[in-house]
Amino acid sequence: MSDTPQPQAGEPGTVAVTVDRSGKREPTWVPPDQSGPMPRLRVKDLSHTYVDKTGRGTEAVRDISFDVVDKPGTGEVIVFLGPSGCGKSTILKAVAGLIVPTKGDVFLDGKLIEEPGRDRGMVFQQYTSFGWLTVRENVEYGLKLHGTPRAERRKLSQKYLEEVGLAEFGDHFPKDLSGGMKQRVAIARTLINKPRVVLMDEPFGALDPQTRWGMQSLLLDVSRQEDNTILFVTHDVSEAVYLADSVYVLSARPARILHRVNVPFFANRDASLKSTREFREIEEKLLDLLYSS
């Protein structure tokens, strides 16, 4: 039997591409000049090493630098694409303020990030709803903690439940919902706090392909309506092309940025897009970069 890796089945609707594995590619990413005015988000010289209880260190990311400029009135999706376990999630955690970097800094609107804040919201792959609260109470939870009056909470929660297609499920409990619906709750709960940056750590990874398509389309719709900057982690090339305005291709651990690929604007993003020549060309380019890095 040949030792050559065999093609794997992808999402329905995608088409196999031929990847050039003829040689190793040198990184094409050049870190930006970060001496000028602050953009919306700046990650500068970010490195992080996790240390276990025995004192052994595992370097997760190394010298990550990038800027995300503000684009008023336009939502933007930045995707981090790399192999499983490469350190992608660590970048999100640093932006969220959940970890203190071993080296480097993260700034949002010119302010150094030192802890979690309402200006950032995070959606995880695992379902994180409170089981004892209704869908509406879950969505309103952050507002309640900050003392928002009940009438205002109800008005806002209704708006976001409608945006994510759960207007009829406000009085249900999470146990009554499918996986895709639970992730809709998580998205609504994040957006209601009006974060400047939304961080999404493989939020659709556990969903079946049909539900995943629906959630990807929902995310695109919401990002345009809410004018959010979304940082999205995935190791799925098709998902990256479908969602992204820009894709950062990362190395194996410790994660370093190797390439940046700007995805062309697609007027119509639906399941049929994944079978088009334009989509396959970007998919092939990303696969080529991943295999040859």
pLDDT-derived band at 22 (thresholds 50, 70, 90) equals: low
pLDDT value of residue 70: 76
Is residue 84, in this structure, part of any structural domain at all?
yes
Domain count, the chain: 2
Q: Do 246 and 278 belong to one domain?
A: yes
Is residue 167, in this structure, part of any structural domain at all?
yes
Q: Do 227 and 83 belong to one domain?
A: yes
Q: Which domain holds residue 174?
A: 129-194
pLDDT value of residue 10: 46
pLDDT value of residue 94: 97
Q: What angle do CA 272, 275, 281 make, to 5 degrees?
A: 130
Average pLDDT, the chain: 87
pLDDT value of residue 68: 93
Each residue's pLDDT tens digit, 194-215: 899 999 998 888 788 878 888 8
Domain boundary (149, 179, 194) is at 194
Q: What angle do CA 241, 245, 246 make, to 5 degrees?
A: 85
Is residue 18, in this structure, part of any structural domain at all?
no
Q: Do 95 and 56 belong to one domain?
A: yes
Beta bridge partners of 77: 230
Q: Do 136 and 111 belong to one domain?
A: no
Is residue 124, in this structure, part of any structural domain at all?
no
Q: Do 60 and 77 belong to one domain?
A: yes
DSSP string, 2-58: --SPPP---STT--------SSPPPP-------SSS--SEEEEEEEEEEE-TTS-EE
Short-list 163, 232, 240, CA closest to 199: 232
Q: Do 232 and 183 belong to one domain?
A: no
Average pLDDT over residues 166-186: 91
Is residue 13, in this structure, part of any structural domain at all?
no
- According to DSSP, residue 264 is labeled P
Q: Do 151 and 220 belong to one domain?
A: no
Q: Do 54 and 100 belong to one domain?
A: yes
Tokens read off for 161: 């439940």
Domain boundary (194, 220, 240) is at 194
Distances (CA, A) of 191 to 66, 141, 180, 241: 24, 12, 17, 23
Is residue 215, in this structure, part of any structural domain at all?
yes
What is the residue whose two structure tokens read 């604007």? 265
Q: Do 222 and 108 belong to one domain?
A: yes
Distances (CA, A) of 174 to 132, 183, 200, 204: 8, 10, 20, 17
Tokens read off for 162: 């409608």
CA distance 231 to 202: 10
Each residue's pLDDT tens digit, 28-87: 999 999 988 999 999 999 999 999 999 999 999 999 999 998 776 677 899 999 888 888
Q: Do 200 and 273 belong to one domain?
A: yes
- According to DSSP, residue 255 is labeled B
Q: Do 103 and 201 belong to one domain?
A: yes
CA distance 200 to 44: 20
Which secondary-structure segment (H or E) carries 200? Answer: strand 197-201
**Predicted TM-score (pTM) of this structure:** 0.87
Domain boundary (174, 194, 214) is at 194
Instruction: Identify the CATH number of the domain in which residue 264 sits.
Output: 3.40.50.300
Q: Do 205 and 87 belong to one domain?
A: yes
